[in-house]
Amino acid sequence: MLLQMSFLCLSCLAVFSHSQHQASLSRSNDPTGRCVYTFEVISPQETSCTRNSTESEMDEVLTRLTLLEAMVSQLIARGGSGTGSGGLRYNDEYLQEAYAQVTRERNQLQLEQEHLKTQVQKLQSTLAELSLETERLRQRPSEQTNTSGGTLHENRPLRDPGYHFKNTSYQEMKAEVKKLPASHLIPEGNHSLTGCGELLSVGDPVLHRKADAITGKYGVWLQDPDPRGPYYTKNTVWRIDAVGKEVRQLFIYENIDQFSKGFPMKVLVLPEPMESTGATVYQGSLYYQRRRSRTLLRYNLTSENLASLLDLPHAGFHGQHPYSWGGYTDIDLAVDEQGLWAIYSTSKAKGAIIISQLDPESMKVRRSWETKIRKNSVGNAFMMCGRLFTIASYTTPNTTINYMFDTATNEGQSIAVPFMNKYRYNSMVDYNHAQRKLYAWDNFHMVTYDVRLGWVGQGSS
């Protein structure tokens, strides 16, 4: 401050060197040689005249420079008084430290910049893919077509000869829903020891989230009924949008509230692309089918790497034995009170649903059951209490859970429990025994259904 003021005084002196007194008279020759008298009086108001801009700019720069010099000399002085003769070295060290710090920060920023660049590239390619997909969706014939088949791709897999597939370039497919004759019997058996009763009724769907992008027309969303590891709990929500050629992104939400608000806490990129909507989360692992294969993958959600990988023997895949919806729903993984299951079919079973109980560690088949219901005749299926339940239609709003197969008795039978496809395009239905709810993805809408379990004549859960 002091310095600044003294500088201003200096400049005053330079300009008004002749105005030490109240007034002054001077004499000089003008260019024509005539004598000119100049009489100057100091203005009582103004301490300085407005000078021309070049001059004032120069002055400003000079002022700043002087200020800086003053600060430097103050610093040196302070360092000197603090550490005696080591003042300069102290400053040196301080500067070196600061320099190192700046260098580290710069390197960090460069790393982050590169990281961002690759992310931008990834996003751009995803965007390109999505535009393509959107374009295809647009070019597709009307939504509710009346075909009975699936899609053709370049590497068309072997199919059962009885199936006639239509040529569309998209994963989705439609089928006429063949409803099975439904009786109104409630199945036999006593599961009270496991906490499992009969399925008495399913509530109306409760909406939790609506997808806002085309990638969210169908997908998988789940909570782990039996979580492991330090990071994730029963409240954690897992979501995968399944539209697209390379389905790899796993969104993680802290709880259902954050999920509803659309704030993921993390996004994992899976090492292998996923097929369809059959994935499940169980005991800290994500289980899913690798794209265009019968290979099952177990992805450890804590260590974030592939823990095991195994082919599901003879399982049809990529459009051989899907649900009536299609969408390559050939292999549907499920979890219930009794563990991990695969719902699928084989050529040998001629499209009838096979249920296999899998070892959660290795995914080896422990035991299999063959049912008498064709996989492509039902809209979806889930496991509950060691029993398979199938849903008659994925698109009829008022449909039924129309068949039940009990692995304990090795017997199946028709049932009729009302079930609502509120949004008319239900691509995924899974049971979560910890929450006692069905989780479903119905045409962009992520919903749950309460289930009421009980015993015949008792009617409570």
- Applying CB under 6 A, the residues found at the interface with ligand NAG are 52, 54-55, 146, 152, 167, 190, 192, 228, 283-285, 300, 302-303, 307, 398, 455-456
How far apart are CB 30 and ligand NAG at their closest, in Å? 18
Element (H, E) at 451: strand 445-454
Tokens (6 digits) for 112: 């982050």
26 versus 192: smaller Cβ distance to ligand NAG: 192
83 versus 398: smaller Cβ distance to ligand NAG: 398
Distance CA 415, CA 393 (A): 14
How far apart are CB 2 and ligand NAG at their closest, in Å? 28
**Do 331 and 220 meet the contact criterion of CB atoms below 8 Å apart?**
no
How far apart are CB 412 and ligand NAG at their closest, in Å? 19
54 versus 85: smaller Cβ distance to ligand NAG: 54
Residues in the chain: 461
Element (H, E) at 69: helix 53-83
48 versus 190: smaller Cβ distance to ligand NAG: 190
How far apart are CB 304 and ligand NAG at their closest, in Å? 8
Q: What is the residue whose two structure tokens read 């509950």?
A: 384
**Do 184 and 200 meet the contact criterion of CB atoms below 8 Å apart?**
no
Strands 339-344 and 352-358: antiparallel
54 versus 118: smaller Cβ distance to ligand NAG: 54
Tokens (6 digits) for 197: 């009763």
How far apart are CB 426 and ligand NAG at their closest, in Å? 15
How far apart are CB 146 and ligand NAG at their closest, in Å? 4
Distance CA 304, CA 308 (A): 12
285 versus 448: smaller Cβ distance to ligand NAG: 285
| Neighbour-count burial for 26-43, b at 16+ CB within 10 Å, e otherwise | eeeeeeeeeeeeeeeeee
314 versus 424: smaller Cβ distance to ligand NAG: 424
373 versus 415: smaller Cβ distance to ligand NAG: 415
How far apart are CB 241 and ligand NAG at their closest, in Å? 25
How far apart are CB 286 and ligand NAG at their closest, in Å? 11
Cα 445–chain centre separation: 16
226 versus 254: smaller Cβ distance to ligand NAG: 226
How far apart are CB 237 and ligand NAG at their closest, in Å? 19
**Do 401 and 414 meet the contact criterion of CB atoms below 8 Å apart?**
no
Contacts of 49 by beta carbon, 8 Å cutoff, 6+ apart = 15
How far apart are CB 52 and ligand NAG at their closest, in Å? 3
81 versus 155: smaller Cβ distance to ligand NAG: 155
How far apart are CB 23 and ligand NAG at their closest, in Å? 25
- In this structure, what DSSP letter does residue 214 have? G
Distance CA 378, CA 177 (A): 7
Of 214, 240, 126, which Cα lies nearest the Cα of 443?
Answer: 214
Distance CA 220, CA 211 (A): 12
156 versus 372: smaller Cβ distance to ligand NAG: 156
Tokens (6 digits) for 431: 């049971």
| Other CB atoms within 10 A of residue 305 CB | 9
285 versus 395: smaller Cβ distance to ligand NAG: 285
How far apart are CB 102 and ligand NAG at their closest, in Å? 37
Of 111, 205, 157, 244, which Cα lies nearest the Cα of 442?
Answer: 205
Contacts of 331 by beta carbon, 8 Å cutoff, 6+ apart = 275, 276, 278, 289, 294, 296, 312, 315, 317, 342, 343, 344
| Other CB atoms within 10 A of residue 157 CB | 14
Element (H, E) at 373: strand 365-374
